[in-house]
Amino acid sequence: MAVTLVLGASRGLGFALVEAYAAQGRSVVATVRSEADRERVEATGAKVLLVDVADPASVSGLAWQLDGEKIELALYVAGVWDAHSSATPPTREQFDRVMHTNVLGAMQVLPQVAPLVEVAGGVFGLFSSQMSLLADAESDAWLYRVSKAALNMVVASAQPQWPGATVVALDPGWVQTDMGGAAATFTVEQSVQGLVRTLAGVTPADRGRMLRHDGQRIAW
């Protein structure tokens, strides 16, 4: 059976996507950062791997753990937030925390997972944000915005390397998670329902593009 892989499933959208795809009867593999998160994710029926995407040493064994799997859908959901505005220079620790998870992790994971997605003719979706777009630039959360803009280039640059896969950036919307906060526009359920529908409708014409959770295709 082809596999759905969710990278960053400890909580929020990642966990909800594991639940949604497991409920469809799919074979789901999910990654979590710590043993403390394993039991809750395993309760969905998913196979759980312990991977910290911000740590290259932890990510290095991912391909070996997935050996032989045909991955029809891979989702890089892992991400961290930083709210500081452009008036505040990021510290080295803040920069590393955000960029290692949001960018470096994706760049470490792609060469290991994308070949397995390509074999299956599948889709690899990496979670970005509308906040990454130049047309929507504001001064708030500038480190987060920069990290997601960099992730967009990761997607665009990765697509030609694995032409048999469809690599896309995904905008889940402003969601009521620990990261998004209670004032966010969409519930987790609304975002996930939209993402599942949108991902089911992805075609080769979407390669290297950004897709919103509601199915809208966004120009870079």
Residue 183 is part of a domain; what is its CATH number? 3.40.50.720
Q: Domain residues for 135?
A: 3-218
What confidence score (pLDDT) does residue 180 get?
66
Number of domains forming the structure of the chain: 1
Please provide residue 189's backbone torsions phi and psi, each rounded to the nearest 5 degrees: -60, -45
pLDDT at residue 138 above 80? yes
pLDDT band at 184 (very low <50, low <70, confident <90, very high): low
If you average pLDDT over residues 75-93, what whole number do you get?
A: 94
Burial of 64 (0-12, 13-18, 19+ CB in 10 A): exposed
Contact indicator for 176, 170 with CB cutoff of 8 Å: no
C-alpha distances out from residue 65 to 31, 76, 97, Å: 11, 16, 25
If you average pLDDT over residues 113-119, what whole number do you get?
A: 96
